[in-house]
Chain A
Amino acid sequence: MSNLDSRDTGIGAPANPPVPAVALNGITKRFGNVVACESVDLELWPGQIHALLGENGAGKSTLMKILFGLVQPERGTIKIDGHRVQILDPAKAALLGIGMVHQHFSLVDALTVWENVTLGETGRLDANATRARIAGIAERYGLEIDPDLRVGELSVGLRQRVEIIKCLRRDPHIIILDEPTAILSPEESEQLFGALRQMIVTENRTVILVSHKLDEVLRASDEITVMRQGKFVDRFTSATADTPTLARAMVGRDVEMPSGGGALRIRIPDKESAKNSDNLTSSSSPTGSVSSENSPVLCIKDALASGTANAPSLNGFSLKLYSHEIVGVAGAEGNGQTALVDLLSSLLTLVSGTVTVNDTVIPTGKAGAMAQAGIHVIPEDRQGSGLVTDMTVAENLMLNNPLGVTKWGVINRKQRSSLAQQIIAKYNIVCSGPNALLWTISGGNQQRVVLARELASQPKILVAAHPLSGLDISAAEYIKNHLIDAASNGAAVLFISSALEEIFDISQRIAVIHSGRIITETPREETNLESLGLLMGGSPT
């Protein structure tokens, strides 16, 4: 499993000292029964931009959090400049010269730029010295900023600039950037990479770039390590690698053949197969155009929602959904997926645009209106809007529809319990019984509770947001089968994910979301992983 074979690539560069700046060895970390990292080895050399490439949930963020002291590994060693260290918290990481630019900013909106930059340092608070330091960094790397502005008033690009300056203020020799361009415009990304290049060339720092954008990784980095499902996959030198190779390594070899619906693992539900209940694993028949002749079940038209500076919300989002189909919404994180799910969960009120279910306009942001209209949602953050963790399993199974077990507003506990028992058995939910509190069961089983509840009442429309993330393979397989089942039974399924492999696996139609709108929509047969990967990363087809 371990791959130490690339050690010589570092030594190959003559300017480098013989010890790597960072050496991670056999790092393993599990969350519950999900493996986030499994015996991962990684070596980083000074004077290089090293890219860590992988899909969501591939374990790259966890690995970086381990290096930054936010997460403790179960096994494995960390060496900085050849010395073995233990990094218990971010403060220790800072002492060791490690700086991190967080994907979700660690900035305080209400404070000014200079206050944010100096936050976390020690010693006397000196505004002028900090301003001077900011000016120095700004000049050196072309990252100009007014130190007296409030961070809350800055654009996303400028906020990230502050985050980078904040990271640089301690003069770290190892800099981690976690998905730094996820929310940047192309120009802003360009500027950022220019600054990074400067840092490694003139100052011999080590830069780690965590990303799932193939293009930028190739353009900006010197070396690329690919991770998948918590494991090391392969290592490339940027100069010799190309996008298709990287895409294949990133999403896994088993779907590397050009997708035309012919891949063996891909199963697509349609009306024919629905009649044959055992037909789930049969190969697909072309269906893309069949459904579109009918009227759509769900129609979102020109949805516009105001977002915060951090997350682009919906901006002219339109999508139609027909019954008996699974539509995959692909896109890099933070392009409006959260807003889309919130919209369909009645958690978001549109500024303009409409949501129609079977030609009835559904009011947005009205409690329970979407659920009433038959839209069932498996949310991304199950503890956020899917479950109530300090209620029992039975209660959670009846959250949206307690009416089935009530008479005149009174809940029949016996009936609820036996109904819950049935569902628990049917969906193989491992728990001590219907009255087990939800937090006592594992994440995978919690996910099953959500799934069971949303599927139990034969949904017309099912929205699943990143339902497979954080699950191990068998649990993921299980949920996929149920989604396919639902579509076979006539549901319209909206499947939102940033893992292309998942999307390709079960969707018939694939829509790519970018900056709050759908930029392309194609039947799966007419596209392939590589081109979609490029689209997602914002590069032209």
Chain B
Amino acid sequence: MNTRVSSRLGEWLVLYSLSLFTALLLSTLLVEATGGDWRAVLNALLDGSIRKPGRWGETISTAAPILLVALGTVIATRAGLVNIGQEGQLYIGAAVGTFIGFLVGGPGALNVVLILGCGALGGGIWAGFAAALKYWRGVPEVLSTLLLVSVASHAVAYGFRWDWLLLAPEADRGNRNQVSEQLPLDNRLPRPNIFGNEIPLTVPISVVITLGVTLVLTRTIWGFRLKILGRNKRTAQRVGVAEGKYGATALLLSGAFAGLAGAFMLTGGGYTFGNYQFVPGFAANIGWTGLLVALVANEKPLAAVPVAVLFAGLRTGSGFVSSTGVESRITDVIAGLLVLSLLIPTALMLLRDQRRFRTNMSERV
């Protein structure tokens, strides 16, 4: 058995290295073909994500909301659900957090907690629409979550038209329009400075949440039942895992995590995300990125951590790329190619496993 496990691991490594290499090679070729210098791009990426002062702090603080979104996605995927609306759930979460935060305007820390809670609530409600549509009306969650992303952006745009909703009062806006008020200083999460890097509190919280999610999914009955539901609905129904109850909870949680990520960006994101102001386009593709991270991490919360940092690094590095004369969007291309290339080994292994599985079955014919 051991040799089998290790040969499997070996195959896995070879396949992954090959695919990753291909993805990076393609990216390199693309840069070279359009007149760029790939070494310069690589240097810029490293500078922007790690090497320059304060950058690795920036990278891991960007990774925090991405990781949260990914964790939520992992929970939904565990239950066999395809939530692809995190971008909208995150946006709504941040919007609800902003709205309630300014509505209540309570004292410092308490208000931060309220904003975070409302962020999670907002994201949860947005995913809740999809859950309700699925379990009451049979609407596939893939489609409803996707469509709700666009609805979210229009709903927020509506919110920005009224100062009783999101829009900052005239006096606070200067010339700019369509922004919310800035969170007062005591309504922000602290960003302690460690070795010249600002690490917002969102980072340790995200790490704790990751460990929590890992434990809940792998060690508790709830996680176990969720997995049964995701892998085999009929068995789940027989052993007492009600699809509606567990599935809806997973979808709500998944949305809540995205919403919380939005609230994180608001209260602890600093300059990277709107500078404590809620602005149009605030979600900034963090939802989509988190979704991709979860897909690459293949349902494993702990694996999502390095992947989230990697994708965050591509993001923070991209700002430095433009200085080399290469369009910074190359990082999006690299991210996309990476994901595609990482899908291939998983798909190949799955295909082989299924084949082996079939020959293993004493099929009834």
Contacts and interface: CB of A to CB of B under 8 A. Distances in A.
| Contact between A and B in the complex (any CB pair below 8 Å) | yes
Interface of A: 31-34, 36, 57, 61-62, 65, 71, 345-347, 366-372, 377, 379, 383-391, 395, 398-400, 402-403, 406, 409-411, 413, 432-433, 436, 439-444, 469-471
B150 interface: no
Mostly, the B contact residues are helix
Given A347-B234, A402-B224, A403-B221, A367 B240 contact: yes
A439 B242 contact: no
Interface in B319-365: 353, 356-357, 359-365
Interface stretch (B111-119, B120-128, B225-233): B225-233
A430 B343 CA distance: 33
B365 A443 contact: no
Contact of A439 (B215, B222, B360): B360
B235 A346 contact: no
Given A33-B362, A367-B243, A390 B219 contact: no
B272 interface: no
Interface residues of B, number: 33
Given A388-B231, A406-B220, 10 more contacts: A31-B362, A57-B364, A62-B365, A367-B240, A367-B242, A368-B240, A371-B239, A388-B227, A399-B235, A442-B360
Given A32-B360, A388-B231, A368 B221 contact: no
Given A345-B238, A346-B238, A470-B362, A410 B220 contact: yes
10 contacts: A32-B361, A345-B238, A370-B238, A383-B232, A398-B224, A399-B239, A432-B1, A439-B353, A441-B360, A443-B361
A371 B238 contact: yes
Given A31-B361, A33-B362, A61-B365, A385 B235 contact: yes
Contact of A384 (B234, B361, B362): B234
Closest 3 CB pairs of A and B: A368-B240, A443-B362, A367-B242
B219 A411 contact: yes
Nearest to B245: A367
B239 A400 contact: yes
Nearest to A34: B362
A441 B1 CA distance: 12
Contacts of A436: 1
B241 interface: yes
Nearest to A440: B360
Q: Which of B228, B238, B359, B364 has the most CB of A within 10 A?
A: B238
A389 B361 CA distance: 11
A432 B4 CA distance: 11
A399 B231 CA distance: 12
Interface of B: 1, 215, 219-222, 224-225, 227-228, 231-232, 234-243, 245, 353, 356-357, 359-365
A34 B227 CA distance: 31
A402 to B, nearest CB: 5
Given A409-B221, A443-B361, A371 B240 contact: yes
A371 B237 CA distance: 10
B238 A385 contact: yes
Contact of A409 (B1, B222, B227, B240): B222
Contact of B238 (A368, A432, A469): A368
B82 to A, nearest CB: 18
A368 B239 contact: yes
Contacts of B238: 345-347, 367-368, 370-371, 377, 379, 385, 400
A129 to B, nearest CB: 36
Contacts of B365: 31, 36, 61-62, 65, 71
Contact of A32 (B1, B235, B243, B359): B359
Nearest to B363: A31
A406 B231 contact: no
A439 B243 contact: no
A475 to B, nearest CB: 9
A436 B245 CA distance: 30
Contacts of B361: 31-32, 383, 443
B357 A367 contact: no
Contacts of A345: 234, 237-238
B219 to A, nearest CB: 5
